[in-house]
Structure 1
């Protein structure tokens, strides 16, 4: 006999050392694992009866970070083993993740038909820029690989904001996606709800000997195409630097062709953070009978 439940977890990571959020196929001989690989390794150490299969909501690229990504999975235990409470599950997974730059922030029991990817209502990305930093070694340690350092001090933010308004709304974003194996299966029509540029700050701005000017580019949509955010960020920075005009960006968008995007213009992964994945409260609600079940408040962190 066994009992089972579905969990939704939210987790964060510094993506520098990982191949991306998604699992690396076993046939690919890579030195770097994906974040999903490490999460599934931690889940297996809980000794579930069912095969471990994590469904990640947002597949960030190699080197991209997350302050809040999400995933769901089913977990079965024998009837003499109580289901994990949300708090115990978070502690157990973080215990087994050890020193990896990955942390579970919270967990929820969700309905059996819940899907972390398809139920997501929006995803928010923030791209961080540091101005007047010609070499990464001039950044504080807490910023290395966590922003795009630009040598110039000036950005035409007004032009960037004007260009950003062209991206907001429903468009064919083919010009802003990179070519990959899924390109023929993904609808290039996306609705970008937010494209905003606002001042940012260093993680240690009060404890560094000199001031560094930061800006943040925020993008929100229900879903994005492959490398769409990095390409939009790179194009907006190019507008701010005067390397690309607002009409030229409009031409790139209207071309609806990935080859129309200038080579080498995409922003590097270092400054990109997935910051939110939002769901409807109704999709997270358990059936009444299940939600009233009383789970034990203690458990063994090792299994």
Structure 2
């Protein structure tokens, strides 16, 4: 019989990834730990029975941020103690995470066979770039949160044209890095959304009025390793006249990585996991709960 004190929760959380080796757990002997390490340490301070293990839905690398990531976790309390409510668990984790740039947005009780990674319907990534200044002129509150892609303006109509070519199902071998942990993972992915929209700074900047921020948004059920960063870099190259939209289409067909002057992989600092979406049927929630994690305004 399943222990009634053991409950599986889906946790939605966000973080600034600058100081971590990524979201995944790292060996405790390592100098720089992952976000998951701190989630586990916070959970253990709630005095559960046994060790707590988080199953992360979406991997992010060193320096990459999340407006909303998710994970499932099983927590068993001592005999005679009722399971944590979702709100109590979220508040308890946040209490023990208050010294870290990590925050639990909410917790949801789910079935014992729910899996945060495999049940995800889609993942949406946001990449922030800025043009119109040198890296040294970037406002301090924007450092490590965007990529200074160019001192001059980009040709946005050409970028939009190239972005539309990425939509749909393709072999994205030309826009991925080989993942040593999963070298044979399929490069065939379906992009449901590719948008490039003007954005704003986190704070008004009065010293460099020519700054222009842009959000590159990509949505798919899953992505190849570093696919978003490589696609972003290629689209910026189109905006700088280093590639053409036609070349983007050609590289999709030939599966050969594009070559152009400058950075071939956009840096991690501008990348945010924005949203992980789930079916409401997979969640044990009331009718007011949403089947996805959302970060609010971006």
Q: TM-score, normalised by structure 1?
A: 0.88
Instruction: State the 1:126 CA deviation.
Output: 0.8
Structure with the bigger percentage of helix: 1
Matched, 1:116 2:116: yes
Q: Structure 1 residues 249, 134: CA separation in 2 closer, same or farther (over 3 Å shift)?
A: same
Instruction: State the 1:95 CA deviation.
Output: 1.1
Matches within 5 A, 1:115-194: 115-135=115-135, 137-194=136-193
Structure 2 Cα separation of the partners of residues 91 and 147 of structure 1: 30
What SS does the aligned partner of 1:78 have?
A: coil
In the alignment, what sits opposite 2:289?
none
Contact 1:5 1:74 in 2 (8 A): yes
Contact 1:133 1:150 in 2 (8 A): no
* C-alpha distance after superposition, 1:124-177 (max 9, x if no partner): 111111111212x31222211000013422101111111111110001111111
In the alignment, what sits opposite 1:93?
93
In the alignment, what sits opposite 2:198?
199
Q: Structure 1 residues 80, 183: CA separation in 2 closer, same or farther (over 3 Å shift)?
A: closer
Would you say how many aligned residue pairs link Structure 1 and Structure 2? 281
Instruction: State the 1:208 CA deviation.
Output: 4.1
> Structure 1: 5+ residue runs without aligned partners?
288-303
Matches within 5 A, 1:35-46: 35-46=35-46
Task: Return the match for 2:18 from 16, 26, 31.
Answer: 16
In the alignment, what sits opposite 2:66?
66
Structure 2 Cα separation of the partners of residues 157 and 172 of structure 1: 25
In the alignment, what sits opposite 1:251?
250
Contact 1:2 1:77 in 2 (8 A): no
Contact 1:195 1:217 in 2 (8 A): yes
> Structure 2: 5+ residue runs without aligned partners?
287-298
Structure 2 Cα separation of the partners of residues 35 and 56 of structure 1: 10
Select between 140-149 and 44-53 the one with higher mean Cα deviation: 44-53
Q: Which runs of 4+ in 1 moved over 6 A?
A: none
